[in-house]
Amino acid sequence: MHLLWVVLWLTTDYHFINNNFACQDVLKNYSKGDKNGIVNTNEEKHRGVKTPPPLPPNAALQSPPTTNTPKVHNPKHGRTEQVTHPKTSSADETGTSCELTYGSYCLWQQEHKEVMKDAMVKKLKDQLFVARAYYPSIAKLPAQDKLSRQLKQSIQELEHVLSESSTDADLPPLVETKSERMDVAIARAKSVPVVCDNVDKKFRQLYDLTEDEADFHRKQSAFLYKLNVLTMPKSFHCLALKLTVEYFKSSHDEEEADSEKFEDSSLHHYVIFSNNVLAASVVINSTVTHAKVSRNQVFHVLSDGQNYYAMKLWFKRNNYGEAAVQVLNVEHLEMDSLKDNSLQLSLPEEFRVSFRSYDNPSMGQFRTEYISIFSHSHYLLPDIFSKLKKVVVLDDDVVIQRDLSSLWNLDMGEKVNGAVQFCSVRLGQLKGYLGEKGFSHNSCAWMSGLNIIDLVRWREFGLTQTYKRLIKELSVQKGSTTAAAWPASLLAFENKIYPLNESWVRSGLGHDYKIDSNSIKSAPVLHYNGKMKPWLDLGIPNYKSYWKKYLNKEDQLLSECNVNS
């Protein structure tokens, strides 16, 4: 049994580490109470997401509250991350709550820890703070006159050193000797029974300042990380702009040579929703590279108006074997089922889940996954490709490493969507967000990335209409249509998923640092689900080469925009 958490993105989660000073019981109690010194024995204060107490193996999951689902969304420059609020009951002191709260930011932070700079300067400042906390109390004791003078002298020495040095490189010789003398003085001061009022006051100041500063920097760095992963690199913007300008400089009167292939249902049709020229290019290039026969492959790239012309020119000036590539502007689609002109491209939805198995509760380790799922745009497929019977939908953050032709021979029976299932997360565990719709609580969640879609069955079952109905119903409960998108998508395909063997796709390359290289090399499809996409500076370094090898590095525009740097 798994305990599932769907986590909130940005809350505070900093724990002050209590130093072993004299009067430490005061500070220890203070850290459990409020900042006015009131200790609450019934409810421990905790910033951020709290972890639950261990549940028995057969315990039912407590439903989370059905509040509005916040989300971070940029329709032009990235995917949507769905986040929701869990119910919690007790504090987690193990550090796992950081990952529950901040997701891949904490994973990235752990992997990029650096040795503390100017550690000696920081040590001297800490010593000076502690010595100043004890000195007023020691100075009032006539019997400790010698210790008082020693403390005062050490304080003056460190004050003089720090007034002239802000980095370790600036420190004078023999500074370690001064630090050792201060350590001795502080140790003696700790052994003297004193009234704790002054010490307590100073430590309260230290606690508040440290906690507030750490909280600020944690929030700031998490925000900057989030901003970075949601922002397209400048080099990619440069490429898109240059391609767009070049497109309008050239003539485009000729008809596309492969236009007859775009509606030929006997060919292998692949669909990619993307606003990223190079990401879409890598998907197509990697697919064609490993295809036994490329002349029967047709790729349909659906983009937005901002990137449409860049896409058009890129795929015109770059060849992909004998495969045909069609670029469509989602915003200009003309279909009978669309009565409005406000259609916008939406990329696959992603939502983060964290869970741990109670089969081995002693481990206490949470596992975080990013589950990607269809967006609004995917439900236009039967109308956009009205003459096709079957398509394979590929997310633009995948890399193909094997021939995919065998997918077209799968007999999916009455199923509509061939997808890799994610049975660590079952619909029953999400019932607080899915509502009571009569679904099977034991049904597994499923992943987009690689999906075989039977468009004939889709039309027969009216799944687009089902999805729209669910969106309307769930938006009342969730407060917005965007918040209802992913539960509606899960429910629309319930009992209509054909489970692909999980060996087809190796997922997690956008958030998991610990994937074995052998499993990556042997997987037919690599999925960079998560926030650390391979085209970002924050992408996981060990996995970038699998993506970059399919870039067309000979194109001059890549050099002009420093894409390869």
3-state secondary structure 65-99: CCCCCCEECCCCCCCEEECCCCCCCECCCCCHHHH
pLDDT number for residue 81: 52
The residues with which 526 forms a beta bridge, in sequence order, are: 399, 506
SS3 for 453? Answer: strand
How do beta strands 2-6 and 349-357 pair? antiparallel
* Dist CA 10 CA 88 (whole Å): 16
Specify the DSSP element, H or E, that contains 164. Answer: helix 145-164
Token pair 């032009």 is at which residue? Answer: 76
| Degrees, nearest 5: CA angle 314-318-324 | 95
Measured CA to CA in angstroms, residue 380 lies from 124, 345, 384, 386 at distances of: 64, 11, 6, 10
The radius of gyration of the chain's CA atoms, rounded to the nearest angstrom, is 29
The answer on pLDDT for 479 being more than 50 is yes
Q: How far is CA 510 from CA 203, 423, 459, 529, 531, in A?
A: 42, 20, 34, 5, 6
Confidence band for 327, pLDDT divided at 50, 70 and 90 = very high
Query: How much is the mean pLDDT over the chain?
Result: 78
Lowest-pLDDT choice from 86-95, 109-118, 254-263, 290-299: 86-95
At 62 the pLDDT is 30
Mean pLDDT check: name the lowest of 285-289, 361-365, 397-401, 510-514.
361-365
Secondary structure (H, E, C), 355-373: EEECCCCCCCCCEEEEEEE
pLDDT at 46: 30
Give percent above pLDDT 90 in the chain.
40
Q: Which of 110, 106, 107, 100 is nearest to 52 (CA)?
A: 100
The DSSP bridge partners found for residue 421 are: 446
Nearest one of 448, 444, 439, 461 to 418, comparing CA atoms? 448
Q: For residues 121 and 119, give the distance between their C-alpha atoms in angstroms, rounded to a whole number.
A: 6
Looking at residue 343, its pLDDT comes to 65
| Residue-wise pLDDT tens digits, 169-214 | 889 888 999 999 999 999 998 888 877 777 777 778 777 887 888 8
Look at residue 322 in the predicted model and tell me its pLDDT.
92
Q: What is the pLDDT of residue 548?
A: 93
Considering the domain delimited by 234-561, tell me its CATH architecture.
Answer: Alpha-Beta Complex (3.90)
Asked if pLDDT for residue 10 goes beyond 60, the answer is no
Average pLDDT estimate for 295-323:
93
- The number of beta carbons lying within 10 Å of the beta carbon of residue 77 is 14
Residue 255 has pLDDT above 90, yes or no: no
- 11, pLDDT greater than 60: no
Q: In percent, how much of the chain has pLDDT > 70?
A: 76
Q: What are phi and psi of 549, to 5 degrees?
A: -65, -15
Map tokens 């019981």 to a residue. Answer: 25
Residue 550: strand, helix, or coil? coil
Q: Where are the domains of the chain?
A: 96-230, 234-561
97-101, 150-154, 424-428, 542-546: segment of lowest average pLDDT: 97-101
Two tokens at 150? 């020693």
Residue pLDDT, tens place only, 124-169:
988 988 888 888 888 888 889 999 999 999 999 999 999 988 888 8
Please give the DSSP secondary-structure letter assigned to residue 348. Answer: P
The pLDDT score that the predictor gives to residue 427 is 80
Taking only the tens place, the pLDDT of each residue in 209-254 is 878 888 888 888 888 888 888 888 899 999 999 999 999 988 765 5
Range name among 327-331, 543-547, 554-558 with the lowest pLDDT average? 554-558
- CA 137 remoteness from chain centre: 50
What is the spatial distance between Cα 284 and Cα 99, in angstroms, rounded to a whole number?
34
- pLDDT reported for residue 365: 63
Query: Using 50, 70 and 90 to split pLDDT, how confident is the model at 415?
Result: very high
pLDDT digits (tens, 9 = 90+) for 511-540: 999 899 999 999 999 999 999 999 999 899
pLDDT at 338: 55
Residue the block writes with tokens 């009342």: 476
List of residues 6+ apart from 73 with CB closer than 8 A: 80, 482
User: Which of helix, strand or coil describes residue 288?
Assistant: helix
Neighbouring C-beta atoms of residue 71, cutoff 10 Å: 19
Confidence class of residue 25 from pLDDT cuts 50, 70 and 90? very low
Q: Of 262-266, 465-469, 487-491, 561-565, which gets the smallest average pLDDT? A: 561-565
pLDDT at 13 exceeding the cut of 60: no
* Sheet strands (E) in 397-514: 398-400, 417-426, 444-446, 450-454, 497-500, 505-506
Token code pair at residue 448? 């987009």
pLDDT category at 407 given cuts 50, 70, 90 is very high
Separation of alpha carbons 474 and 479, rounded Å: 8
- pLDDT value of position 536: 92
Sign of CA dihedral 226, 230, 236, 238: negative
CA–CA separation, 371 and 4 (whole Å): 13
Instruction: Please state the rounded mean pLDDT for residues 286-313.
Output: 94
d(CA 18, CA 25): 10
Q: DSSP 3-state assignment of 427?
A: helix
Coil, helix or strand for 393? strand
Interatomic CA distance for residues 444 and 371, integer angstroms: 12
Encoded tokens for 110: 């752990």
Listed ranges 58-72, 161-175, 418-432; the one with the highest mean pLDDT:
161-175
Q: What is the pTM of this model?
A: 0.74
* Greater model confidence, 217 or 83: 217
pLDDT of 336 above 80: no
- For 254-261, what is the mean pLDDT? 72
Q: How far apart are CA 551 and CA 164, in angstroms?
A: 52
What pLDDT shows up at residue 362? 46
**CA 299 – CA 293 distance, rounded (Å):** 14
